[in-house]
A and B are shown apart, each in its own frame.
Chain A
Amino acid sequence: MPEWPKEPKQLGKEHVRYDGPIKVSGRAKFASDMQPGGWLYGMMLRSKWPAARISAIDLQPALRIPGIRAAVFANNPPFIVRYYGQEIAAVAGVSKQACLDGLRAIRVEAEPLPFVVKEEAALSDASPRVFENQPNAGDPRVLQVGDPNTAFQSADKIVEGFFQTSVQLHHCLETHGNTIQLNDDGLTCWASTQGISSVKDGLADNLGVPHDRVRVISEFMGGGFGSKNGAGIEGGLAGRLSKEAGGQAVRLMLTRLEEALAVGNRPSSFQKVRLGAKKDGTLVAYQLEAFGSAGYASGGMTAAGGGGAGFPAPYIYQIPNSRVQQTTVAINAGSARAMRAPGHPQASLGMESIMDEMALALNMDPLELRIKNDPSEIRREQFRIAGERFGWKAKYRAPASSPGPVKTGVGCGGATWGGGGHASEAEVQINPDGTVEVRCGTQDLGTGTMTVIAIVAAEAFGIEPSAITVKIGDTAFPASGGSGGSTTAASVSPAVFDACQNALRDLSVASGLADPRGSNWGPATSRLRINPVVARGRWKEGLSGHGAGGVQMAEVAVDIETGFVRVNRIVCVQDCGLVVNRLASISQINGGIIMGIGFALYEERIMDATTGVILNPNFETYKLPGAADIPDIEIVLQDMPERGVIGIGEPVTIPTAAAIANAISNAIGKRVNHLPIFPAQILGLLGKVPGVPVEERNGETGA
């Protein structure tokens, strides 16, 4: 089995980003920046009805607008649209302004249909159906372990709670889209994507182009977070527009409004949780009844990987008896897609909240309750390390016990994520002048993949990362698979290392030097004649690992007169296997925590029941964390080289919201049970404004 060097010179050190200079200077060309000669602007027409039967679309008026070069249907009418924002048609023209005029000119005949956009309403038998031939709610998935009924009877304490998490939008800053040229030679696509290979296959099949005539390029992309795994409907439309316009390239990037409607989200969750424990804190029984919506695609049509609204339960803690029932309900809204640790932040919120309720019922320290019931040795240790670093023992007080109108509170939570490596190839070329080029058909989502490749190759050859040229994001390079599930670093690093080992063997033969690395590098490579060394490698077992944990603790201040929450401090302890780039790993953790703060306090897609329209499709009304919202973040990054490379993009965003929710509950002495936790909810819970936005159904129930 291959092994990483025991005393690495590059791995695990702090390396600046390979693509830093080109990005800070504004020279990095993203898909949205591509302007091949004669390029056209592309835009889409979307449904203004939450549900409607589209009987006719007339594109001719659009084609008569000056500057419009092509117009296409999304589907041939008649067809049914099932959410506000579903694709109807697209145009390409010489400018954005021409396209805006063109879209306005398209005539659509439609018969509006009844719709439902609220999960609770959609569950009712009386509700309009998203799909005519089936109920909105699918059959519940039920999973029973042990004998929960008997176990609840044997419990000394039982607590119950109702928790709700909202639909969160990905809101990648670069919107979804592509620049596509489809002519007689084939198809070239500059994509903003997490998976150039899947975009290639998707476009080729969709547009009927042989795979060997399709090339997808994504050198830089402006964020994905799980939502950019395929070419999307917008990709297929851009290809058809390009063809119809005589082979001119079409750049079709979505607008921010479209981004909020149609390209994915994290499903909502409504969780009724019951937990039973013995006096000493041993958990014995768990019950969950949950439902949630992944949008219209919950009903069966998976426009782009829309799955259900389920999540792992019970989450992370050892409970021998459990009954879990989860239902996914369709509504007339945009479909869900994978979003950074799909299911886990929702699962974490429900589980960690009920754990704190149980700790209160048992009069036990919430941290001790967790350590007692966590089956993971790594995470138990992380809870201890985080507790020391955070000062948990000194800071944890009875709920609402801090004096004055600004109450402080603390909370914690843990995470688990599978990750692991997948099949990936890479190619290394060693040139006679000693320079190295690594080619790999992966993509860099902002996670630092290019830098990882340079570090691994430099380590293998005993040279500096600055001597390595990294080429990625092109289907002309060896295939590497998609970047999802925190698998990229764990897939790419072993493939590159393997390619380097193969190249070293070839270089050794060609140069006659047994070990061409390090100080021998110059002499060895200078003996290469005309042909450089080119070698391939692939992902191998043993260089990557899987299964990351992670623990976070939060300290908040809540103004009980205004309901305003400030997160003062987050402490994070994270394992990551072999750390490749310490600097970028810290950045990745910061980023996950900050996205978790958004999920906890600000982010919620709000649908209007009366009109079926999203009410907050922009950054004025859908709030992302900004400069003023960032707490002090302290990170303990655990280096465990013996486990191999493990991705951490996902676990680091999981426990943040639960830790914050617990900290707020600890501060105000009332259980917050709805994410995001907005000021009105806090004031409602404190009885300072009429009506509690979310019904209070928590607390000890007996036994």
Chain B
Amino acid sequence: MHGPPDINRRHLLGGGLALVAAAASGCALPVGFGSSQTRIRYWHFLGASDGITMNGMVRAFGKEHPDIFVEENVLQWGEPYYTKIAMAGAGGRSPDLATFHLSRLAGIGAGRILDPINLDLLAEVGLKAADFSPPIWQRAHLDGVLYAIPLDAHPMVLYYNTDICEKAGLLGEDGKLRPTTGVDELIAALTKAKEAMGGKPPLTMDALGLGTVGPWRVWWTLYSQSGGALLTPDNTAIAIDDAKALDALRLMQRLGTEGLCDPRTDYGASVAKFTNGEAAFLWNGDWETTGLKERGTPFSMTRFPNVFGTGAAQADCHAFVLPHQRSRDPEIERATYRFIAYLVKNSADWAVAGHVPAYLPALEEPDYLALHPQSEYRSVITEVALDPQVWFTGSASRLWIEFGGAFSPVLSGERSPEDGLAAAKAALDRLMTAPNPFPAEERS
């Protein structure tokens, strides 16, 4: 009755067991296994141009420090990134080092998701508080504990196509864009550029799409220029000035509906348009510099135009954090601080990507001052409009996405500025009443 032994089954069993054994012995493929290098697992969200610059710095560090291997992983920017960081920190097998936006610090559950910075190790690698721009250094703390080491500030800026602007007569004698002040001058400049482009919309920006935040960035820039605030100074109540908020929104709608800005471009398309010379101006953060240079677009950059009284521009800061780990290897920890110090002290190299260094000595370096157009807008650093420090704000936060979604249809004219503001306020109201998942009394 018994048949011959079933070869196939044996094979299956054997192969399967071998795999089970492999799975049991190591949880993942060992990287750099058997080498004497210290491995730092480093996560960041710096894609595209930023990614190229960061990758170059990681490699340069590797050359100078052959005893350390930095395993670089680029994760998708935005909500997915902050979701992953929280989950990795909760899981306890998180990376040794991660980039972060300072504005997200209040909402992430520092203390449980992030580990505090070790001040002794920081001093050991030669970094101290006085080296950083004071307001930025202040924002790296929560409840008086340092959780982040700032790298840069990245404001909204104005990119302009030098060829088109020259054709439109918008450049000064030095070949730089003549600054505009106020709504009328801005509209006049845009109209000239539109004529030079044969009637196509001259301005492009991230106006819609998956988790779009462009409309928030532009609105927050314009609104801050007129001195508007989002919340009361103690962050307990909404303090939106309707008149100022509506002025900003009306201008945005005017740009979208009068053919001065194409309201139907998402982030990728806005960059693609400017890259291909199909737009004279791009309103965006400062980080597309390298990519534009690579592709040979004739362009330059300057501060975001002063429209409503000041030169304020929406901004955030990149920083380094240590996601929570169940146990930290002291050797890896030391190597991590050395790596952080290297990146911060070489901020001038990082500035190539477009960002303004937070490390003050770098701002004076001739290398940085020689960077064009990157150093053209460095003066904005005193006028950056940061988010209020509450748990639901910050890059790609609920607030940004809600406001981005509320204002996106205002740009295209599908929604009145009044309705857009009402939607945004309703969202803000919901956020104010929603429970903070990491309440302050639970920290420490």
A, B co-complexed: no
State the A residues within 8 Å of B (CB).
none
